[in-house]
Amino acid sequence: MTRTRTAILISGGGSNMEALIKASQSDPDYPAEIVLVISNRPKAAGLTKAASLGIPAVAIDHKDYDSREDFEAEMQRQLISHNVDFICCAGFMRVLTGQFVSNWAGRMINIHPSLLPKYKGLNTHARAIAAREPWHGASVHYVTADLDSGSVITQIRVKVDDDDTPESLSQKVRAQEHNLYIRALKFALLDFTPRDPSTSDKR
């Protein structure tokens, strides 16, 4: 079976990244092959983790670039040079330009720690607690130009307990995110058609 060449974009610890890499390495029938990890933060712990799992791990520090477009041009260069066909954002903390998003339309997904469409953006756990939500959770969705607004592929929900803090709730949600992302990526690739290699330089 041909597996889809997939990159993961991170900024931090990379626990979701690690789960996706392990799923792809442990199951030859998993439809994604993780071929590249990119972090915009050179010190992201996820980079070391990816390298120790044998995955090319590249730091592209956004602070080294004058504009978002220049930063993304370097990401694009890396993605193309590794023949990447699909992108998973996993704790990637940079807003992407409309141009980059449209280049990867239908080929880029993200995991967000809330039951979308509720709580787009940051501090989702604290906001859910403040609103006395009985349920919170995580969603995997397609990336579109509007932040956290693309079609949802799948979600998990987690009970919010009376004594939950943003930290405890974040841990409970994170523990469920890994299997969620593994399932969502598999689902997203079910009817995915890889690009024609002859047009791959137009990504």
Region of 11-19, 75-83, 94-102, 183-191 interacting with ligand GRF (CB under 6 A): 11-19
Do 174 and 181 form a contact (C-beta atoms < 8 A)? no
CA atoms within 13 A on the CB side of 150: 21
For residues 82 to 121, the per-residue mask of contacts with ligand GRF, x marking binding by CB under 6 A and - elsewhere, is --------xx-------------------xxx--------
Bond from prior residue into 31 cis (ω within 30 degrees of 0): no
3-state secondary structure of 81: helix
Do 37 and 14 form a contact (C-beta atoms < 8 A)? yes
According to the binding rule CB under 6 A, does residue 150 interact with ligand GRF? no
Active site (annotated) includes residue 136: no
According to the binding rule CB under 6 A, does residue 12 interact with ligand GRF? yes
Nearer to ligand GRF, 14 or 31 (CB): 14
By CB under 6 A, how many residues form the interface with ligand GRF?
A: 16
Find the catalytic residue in 62, 82, 112, 141: 112
Residues in Cβ contact with 163 at an 8 Å cutoff, skipping those fewer than 6 apart: none
Q: Please report which helix (H) or strand (E) contains residue 103, including its range.
A: helix 98-103
The residue with its CB nearest to ligand GRF is 91
Interface contacts to ligand GRF, rule CB under 6 A: 10, 12-17, 46, 90-91, 111-113, 138, 174, 177
